[in-house]
Amino acid sequence: MRVAGLMSGTSADGIDVAIAEITGMPSEIGQGGGLAVVPLAFDTVAWPEAQRRTIFELFAGRATLAQICQANFSLGETFADALCQVVAKAGLALAQIDLVGSHGQTLWHDVAAGGRVTSTLQIGEPAVIAARTGVTTVGDFRVADVAAGGQGAPLVSIFDWLLLRPPSALGGWRAVQNIGGIGNVTFLPPLGGAAEPLAFDTGPGNVLIDWAAQLVSDGRLVYDRDGELAAQGAVQSDLLERWLAHPYYRRCPPKTTGRELFTAGLAQQMWEEASGRPAADVVATITALTAASIADAYVRFAPGPLAEVVVSGGGFHNPVLMAELRSRLTAGLGREVAVIPHAALGFAGDAKEALTFALLAYLCVHGVPGNVPACTGALRPALLGKVTFGRAGRGVVR
């Protein structure tokens, strides 16, 4: 099937659209078997500025029920439009797309005391996408895993588990680290063994760095492009040690987090704690916090000896963050570990999450569970996603 995946993450910096040819089926959970995902096209379509402001108003809880309802349909229209743009740019027609998988835009991921996820909400109505494109659309993936007792994340672990397990010749486990708004990792055991994977959110990825860039620039910047601000500063070790004391980092997996915990209010508090220090030093220290929290997670929770770390997401494009990560991994693990781009495994890092939701839609319509209970903490495998049919049931497997 030719499947499109749509994704807008915690940073809400755009809609990622990936198109892939997907064939075969996993022979069993934990092995890709004959499953193949061949990327055909990828692009990121920026949110219209007014709509992006609306999303951040929704993040902050400054919205009525009517506004949330309206945004659900409005964002669905924009997801559909983004898909149409990328399909046309790729020289394809909508009639050549068999299926769409849309993550939507997370507004709230409700984590109770103790770390149990009790509910989750994504908007961007899949029925609108199906109506505008005529293509059967699968959406609302997270809720089935949460209903089965899981965290509803990281759902990307299914992609990692089926397609990215390392060969035994690598000599150890592979950590697949995404650094988006929030950071998440999947620890993958080598092929041929019986060990299970482990996945969880490591903590903030770019979300606090983005807030810091906005505060430093009085709102002119929405992120620290190429780490330019952080490169001008020096890490303040006392502040870093204080910020690393956040209890989330010590919580045992499975665990997930988001803007509900690492909020604009927290960024403002950190900014005030750093009062009197050069602004560039504050950005450098917050950048180091992301790297240090990832390295700390590996030291605490990696289930086996690491041979390789594979990085995707916007954070990979920040050279200051990547240098910090390499340095802190070496210090924490007591040895150097190869840190490589996701593209080295055959999948562009920026397209990874959108490809995951294409894969999840494909698994859904074939009746194959899309979660990995060892990673999300669910009590059982679950079919993920709700299906809205396109014209004449296109995308339905008979």
> What CATH superfamily classification does 160-345 receive?
ATPase, nucleotide binding domain (3.30.420.40)
Task: Give the angle subtended at the CA of 36 by the CAs of 34 and 39, to the nearest 5°.
Answer: 175
Residue that is written with structure tokens 């502040």 in the block = 239
Q: Strand, coil or helix: what is 348?
A: coil
Tens of pLDDT along 155-207?
A: 999 999 999 999 999 999 999 999 999 999 999 999 998 999 999 999 999 99
Question: Which of helix, strand or coil describes residue 180?
Answer: coil
| pLDDT tens readout for residues 195-220 | 999 999 999 999 999 999 999 999 99
Provide the pLDDT confidence category of residue 393 given band limits of 50, 70 and 90: low
**Distance in angstroms (rounded) separating the CA atoms of residues 323 and 252:** 27
Q: What is the CATH number of domain 2-156+352-393?
A: 3.30.420.40
Q: What is the pLDDT of residue 27?
A: 67
User: Please, where in the chain does CATH 3.30.420.40 lie?
Assistant: 2-156+352-393, 160-345
For the ranges 26-35, 215-224, 279-288, 357-366, the lowest mean pLDDT is seen at 26-35
From the number of C-beta atoms within 10 Å of its C-beta (0-12, 13-18, 19+), residue 196 rates as: middle
**Considering the chain, what is the average pLDDT of its residues?**
95
Rounded to whole angstroms, the Cα distance separating 209 from 196 reads 33
Average pLDDT for 380-392: 94
- Over residues 367-375, mean pLDDT: 97
Confidence of residue 323 (pLDDT cuts 50, 70, 90): very high
Asked if pLDDT for residue 29 goes beyond 60, the answer is: no
Q: What is the pLDDT of residue 30?
A: 46
Helix axes 319-333, 279-301, angle to 10 degrees: 40
306-312/338-341 β-pairing: parallel
**Lowest pLDDT segment from 89-98, 264-273, 281-290:** 264-273
8 Å CB contact between 3 and 133: no
Helices (H), the chain: 49-59, 65-89, 126-133, 142-147, 157-163, 207-216, 228-231, 237-243, 264-273, 279-301, 319-333, 352-365, 373-376
- Among residues 375, 378, 374, which one has the least CA distance to residue 149? 378
d(CA 100, CA 6): 8
| Coil vs helix vs strand at 244 | coil
pTM of the model: 0.94
Residue 391: which pLDDT band, with cuts at 50, 70 and 90? confident
Buried b (16+ CB within 10 A) or exposed e, 317-332: bbebbbebbbebbeeb
Angle of helix 65-89 relative to helix 49-59, nearest 10 degrees?
140
Question: What pLDDT is stored for residue 260 in this prediction?
Answer: 87
- As given in the structure block, the two tokens for residue 234 are 């020096």
Condensed to tens digits (0 to 9), the pLDDT of residues 91-110 reads 999 999 999 999 999 999 99
* pLDDT per residue as tens digits for the range 217-253: 999 999 999 999 999 999 999 999 999 999 999 999 9
How many CB atoms neighbour CB 61 within 10 A? 9
